[in-house]
Chain A
Amino acid sequence: MRFGFFPVLIGIFGVVMFARLFSLQILSDEYDDMSLQNSVLKQNVYPERGYIFDRNGVLLVSNQPMYDLMIVPKNVRAFDTLDLCNTLGISLETLLEQMDKARRYSTRAPSALVSQISKQDYAELQEKMWKFPGMYIQRKSVRAYQTDVAANVLGYISEVNYFDMAQDSYYVKGELIGRQGIEKTYEKTLRGTKGIKYLQRDKFNRIMGPFKEGALDTLPKPAKDITLSIDIKLQEYGTKLLANKRGGILAIEPSTGEILMSVSTPTYIPNLLVGRERSVHFETLKQDTLNRFLFDRSLQGQYAPGSPFKVLNALIALEEDVIDTNTKFTCYSGHFYAHNQFMECKCPSGVQNNLNRGIYNSCNTYFSNVYRRIIDKNNDAADGVNTWSKHLNSFGLGSYLGYDHPVGQAGYVPNANFYNLWYPNQRWKGATTVSNAIGQGEILMTPIQLANVAATIANRGFFYTPHFVKGIQDEFIDPKFRTKQYTTISEEHFAPVVEGMANVVKMGTARVANIPGIEVCGKTGTIENFTLINGVRTQLTDHSMFIAFAPKEDPKIAVAVIVENGYWGGRWAAPIASLVIEKYLKGEVKRTWLENRMMNGSLIDEYAKVTSNKPFEINE
């Protein structure tokens, strides 16, 4: 008999099994990961994206349900494919291809057969769902735009790409992100924070219920609604006024820096970028390089400012003490600013202009002299330009201003360095760069910068950083939007300039902008511009420009208007600005004749010249 045999055998068994358990459960980590991978599904719970309202509480952007037709291939039985195709308006090939794709993905897990079905199609489909076994409808939330305008302000959302995911680990494939406009700037506010739900999955990938009774789940943080400073009625009105014209309007409330409107035309209806046709529409909009639908002229359009820039030169000259309000220059319908260099002016020959007359007559001769005095103040052009440049920078020129919209341009303010590079022998002075005097030189400005200059003058020396958002649900807006930015110009120098601007409307170049009962201050601009046609630098019809604010005392609105190739400032820009002001301050517009002329006026023929491949006349 072998008494020890069984005990030894049992002992060996115990040790071996203990060792195996130890190696599986204590030493190895791989099984733990594998277990979570195949049995626990991490599902994100999204808070509903925040709503967007206008300054008066009008709902602009909300959410709408969209429907995905989901399929579980294993449960599909024979069904009427033609019926389904007709209901959804898809081809049989598409359907079969999608079904095949779904089958290859998984026969038991659901995949989307047709996504983003509209409410209308859904209504019809829902009635028939019993005919399609193995399919069901899943609800999704997408944006619903309650307005047909302000696409450039609101922006849009779209699915995250690899770059977004690399930038911010918050996002995973298939999620939506604010891609443009307010949706982008206030992405975190509008989206809230997703919660995570852990679900127990079985071997067929079916959901069995919450994992650990939801103990690990995190709750989503709700999104916040945003109130814009935009007045949607004004925005609509502006969009109508700019119909069939390329241009932009930007209006600011000077006392707060709130942007009241930001119109860019041609524009598109925001709802075009929602739903199944989104990508088709997007490509169409993106590929039009002439109309540039996705280009925001009010924020991104960089133009030579033209005559409105003269008021800035006036302010700088007063501040630098190179002129006073009585300083006079004689205009001979222009003047020689250098040997054989004549600059034309619209003034009758022999007129003596002081500051006030210089502004309201937009006298080139006057401002040319003023500019040269600024630059050549100490007989040091470099120093003069740098001083001039510094003053301009204090108005926000040459910078992005810091407003809460992702697009923009800094414009351009040259300094001494720039001219030193431009004129290698460094022999340049005021006269050399005299185009700057009338806003036609190297200076570039965007409409928002122009509107901000108008607001700054309206405020007599300071501005608030312009911004699109008036309020965020139980949150304060960025404090930088509530901080006064002072310019380098003393307050007392503004009064004479404002006076001149008031006269522009009363008796000057923009009498059309006069509104009975409201004292409007403004300045017209007529901007020479060029383009390349087949490689040849060609001059086009001037841009029509106007900046204004009203009323003169305690101003409520400052506005800049540009109408591309609209010819002189008083033709389009000044009337449009004036109508906008009237609409905003009075609520209704009495001058319907002017309104009709603007709304019905079209520059389509003007724009067609560029692509006509024929010689054409400008400034007709």
Chain B
Amino acid sequence: MNKLSRIDWSSVVYCLIIVSAGLANIYSAAYTLDNTAAAWSVLEKQLISLGLGITAILLIQFLDTKFFERYASLIYLFSIGSLLGLWVFGTEVSGARSWYEMGSFSLQPSEFAKVALALALAKHLGGLNTKIERRKDYFIAFVLMGIPAVLTLLQPDAGTALVLLGFFLVLHAEGLPQLFFNILLSLFILFVLTLFLGAAWVYMLLVLGLAVYLIIQLRKKRKRVVWPALFTLMVFGAFTYSVSYIFEEVFEQRHRDRFNIILGKEVDARGIGYNINQSQIAIGSGKFLGKGYLEGTQTKGGFVPEQQTDYIFSTVGEEWGFLGAVTLLGVFVLLLLRIVRVAYKQKTTFARVFCLGFACTLFIHVAVNMGMVMGLVPTIGIPLPLMSYGGSSLLAFSVFLGIYLRIEYQRIEA
């Protein structure tokens, strides 16, 4: 078999499309009529990062998959170390200690923690005696996720923490007991309901629901359900009230507002809702065909904040319209499905879990970012992978892609 045909070209092509769209839109977002030089310098920086990313991908192809499996723990520990090191050597940028600065170049170690976690989980689950259904094994997995998540949350960087905790989806796909998923889903629903209705109402609903459940069960003479039911009521009740408490007492107003906007409770286009409102105006005004490249009035006017980074998708929506946005969405969906498909082709657990980890990271990024830009998810700082301006993110995803390609290459080879 031809060596080149062992490369997963579909993924490469999808990624190239996304990266090219990213470059074009970063230039457009940074482009202003009175200062085209600024746009070029932004593009230049991103091109340098891209060059570094491609170099990384190529270098990885010289390594054996075994190398990553063997040194996964070490890489993970190194990554945790780099996160801890931020407290000493890190630089604070707009309130978050997330960066190492080296001259004009800055690096965000939490981006690489995602790769490290994917490797570590893959290695853990790929262990000979590991069974994810077992309490001890999934506990270890939770700890592996928890440590970097807590460290990034403390920076504070809630976005990255969310992505790291998102590896739960991989664990679920791998066979984690259903209970966890059910609990999380219930808690999520409770959370949203609490924010909508307030704790008291939700608690009353809970009591009512459980009472009905108990009556039905007791009629069938099933007495064993009583204690678990009461326990669930207690836990959920406590959760409801703590959500309410945290929301009202621990959260700062800006956090509360982010939720309230999404819930439609507060509409303030000028003040707190500015970002999301402007982003929606930009996308909405693109209509079917868009305003044309470099013609976006909102983009050129700089109305959408952070447009080159987190809000890059609004540029696509405005200038390329529904057609362009849906096409891009389609490419992302195809890429995700491709990676998942490739993951299940893998013969080793390590390879499969790593690929799923890649898919999962990508998925959470894309879903949360697009959701945020389009006003479905509260504002949270997560870039659109391979598109948003930012070197660390691009480099981290390049490493992800590089290892992924290498794994698939070696599977076909073998």
User: Would you give the shortest CB distance from B111 to chain A, in whole angstroms?
Assistant: 22
From B2-10, B71-79, B167-175, B205-213, the one touching the partner chain is: B167-175
Please choose the segment from B116-124, B258-266, B320-328 that sits at the chain A interface, where 4 or more of its residues have CB less than 8 A away. Answer: B320-328
Report how far A21 CA is from B376 CA in the complex, Å: 11
1/0 per residue A1-25: CB within 8 Å of B?
A: 1110111011101101110111011
Proximity string of chain B (285-303) to chain A, C-beta cutoff 8 Å, 1 when within and 0 when not: 1111000000101101111
Question: Does B91 make an interface contact (CB < 8 A)?
Answer: no
Would you call B359 an interface residue if the criterion is a C-beta within 8 Å of the partner chain's C-beta atoms? yes
Q: Are A25 and B174 in contact (CB under 8 A)?
A: no
Q: Which of A36-44, A262-270, A329-337 lies at the interface?
A: A36-44
**Given contacts A24-B374, A31-B280, is CB(A39)–CB(B287) below 8 Å?**
no
Contacts of A9 in B (CB 8 A): 169, 363
* Cβ < 8 Å to B, chain A residues 37-59: 38-40
Cβ–Cβ < 8 Å partners of B288 in chain A: 25-26
| A35 CB-CB contact with B under 8 Å | yes
Residues of A within 8 A of B376 (CB): 16, 20
A36 and B303 CA atoms in complex are apart in Å by: 12
**A7, A25, A209 pick with most chain B CB within 10 angstroms:** A25
**Chain B's nearest CB lies how many Å from the CB of A39?**
4
> Which of A17, A25, A201 lies in contact with B301, CB distance below 8 A?
A201
* Contact of A25 with B173 at beta-carbon distance under 8 Å, contacts A10-B340, A10-B363, A200-B297 already known: no
- Asked if A211 CB lies within 8 Å of chain B CBs, one says yes
State in angstroms the CA–CA spacing of A35 and B295 once bound together.
Answer: 12
> Are B326 and A21 neighbours in the complex by a CB distance under 8 Å?
yes
Give B16-38 interface residues, CB cut-off 8 Å to A: 32-34
User: Cβ of B356 and Cβ of A6 under 8 Å apart?
Assistant: yes
Whether the pair B363, A13 counts as a contact (CB closer than 8 A) is yes
> A18-B326, A21-B374, A38-B281 given as contacts; is B303 within 8 A of A203 (CB)?
yes
Binds A, one of B138-146, B193-201, B240-248, B329-337: B329-337
Specify which of B281, B300, B359, B371 is in contact with A202 (CB 8 Å cutoff).
B300
> A2-B175, A208-B301 in contact; A10/B374 too (CB < 8 A)?
no
Which B residues between 328 and 371 are near A, CB-CB below 8 angstroms?
329-330, 333, 336-337, 340, 344, 356, 359-360, 363, 366-367, 370-371
Tell me whether B284 and A31 are in contact (CB under 8 A).
yes
A11 to B80 alpha-carbon distance, docked (Å): 33
CA–CA, A25 and B32, complex, Å: 24
Decide if B237 is an interface residue (CB 8 Å cutoff). Answer: no
A21: chain B residues within 8 A (beta carbon)? 283, 317, 322, 325-326, 329, 374
A44 to B376, CA, bound (A): 40
Q: State whether B302 touches A25 (Cβ < 8 A).
A: no
Looking at chain A's contact residues, the main secondary structure is helix
Contact in complex: B333, A13 (CB < 8 Å)? yes
Could you tell me the distance between the alpha carbons of A17 and B371 in the complex, rounded to whole angstroms? 7
B163 within 8 A of A: no
A93 within 8 A of B: no
- Complex contact A25–B344 (CB within 8 A): no
Nearest chain B CB to A446 CB, angstrom units: 57
A441-453 to B contact mask, C-beta < 8 Å, 1/0: 0000000000000
CB of B282 within 8 A of chain A? Answer: yes
CB nearest to A204 among chain B residues: B302
Contact A208 B336 (CB under 8 A): no
Partner of B285, one of A2, A16, A18, A32: A32
Q: Once the chains bind, are B329 and A18 in contact (CB under 8 Å)? A: yes
Q: Which residues of A contact B283 (CB under 8 A)?
A: 21, 24-25, 31
Residues on A with beta carbons closer than 8 Å to the beta carbon of B300: 39, 200, 202, 208
Check A209 against B340 for contact (C-beta < 8 Å). Answer: no
> A25-B321, A26-B322 are contacts. A38–B336 as well, Cβ < 8 Å?
no
Contact A212 B325 (CB under 8 A): no
How far apart are the CA atoms of A3 and B344 in the complex, in Å? 8
The docked-state distance in angstroms from the alpha carbon of A18 to that of B374 is 11
Q: How far is the CB of B188 from chain A (nearest CB, A)?
A: 14
A35 to B282, CA, bound (A): 7
Per-residue CB contact flags for chain B residues 118-157 toward chain A (1 = under 8 Å, else 0) read: 0000000000000000000000000000000000000000
Which residues of B lie under 8 Å from residue A28 when comparing CB positions?
284
Closest B-chain residue to A34, C-beta based?
B281
A25 touches B281 (CB 8 A): no
- A605 contacts B by Cβ under 8 Å: no
Q: Are the CB atoms of A202 and B282 closer together than 8 Å?
A: no
Least Cβ–Cβ distance between B182 and chain A, in angstroms:
13
- Across the interface, do B322 and A1 meet the contact criterion of CB distance under 8 Å? no
With a CB–CB cut-off of 8 A, which chain B residues contact A2? Answer: 172-175
Bound CA–CA A201/B32 (angstroms): 11
Complex Cα–Cα for A2 and B284 (A): 38
Check if A30 is an interface residue, CB within 8 A of chain B. Answer: yes
**Docked-complex contact A5 and B172, CB < 8 angstroms:** yes
Taking a contact as CB atoms under 8 Å apart, the answer to whether A32 and B303 are in contact is no
Residues of chain A within 8 A of B301, CB atoms compared: 38-39, 200-203, 208
Q: With A3-B344, A24-B280, A32-B287 as given contacts, are A14 and B297 in contact (CB-CB < 8 Å)?
A: no
Contact residues, B360-414 vs A (CB, 8 A): 360, 363, 366-367, 370-371, 374, 376
Q: Which residues of B contact A (CB under 8 A)?
A: 32-34, 169, 172-175, 280-288, 295, 297-298, 300-303, 317-318, 321-322, 325-326, 329-330, 333, 336-337, 340, 344, 356, 359-360, 363, 366-367, 370-371, 374, 376
Closest 6 CB pairs of A and B: A31-B284, A35-B285, A209-B33, A39-B297, A25-B322, A39-B301
A-B contact pairs, 24 of them (CB 8 A): A1-B173, A3-B173, A10-B340, A10-B363, A21-B317, A21-B326, A24-B280, A24-B317, A25-B287, A25-B317, A25-B322, A31-B280, A32-B285, A34-B281, A35-B281, A35-B282, A39-B301, A200-B300, A200-B301, A202-B303, A203-B301, A208-B301, A209-B33, A209-B34
Contacts A6-B363, A13-B363, A14-B333 known; 15 new A-B pairs at CB < 8 A: A2-B174, A7-B337, A9-B363, A10-B336, A17-B329, A17-B374, A18-B329, A20-B374, A21-B317, A21-B325, A21-B329, A25-B317, A25-B321, A39-B300, A202-B32
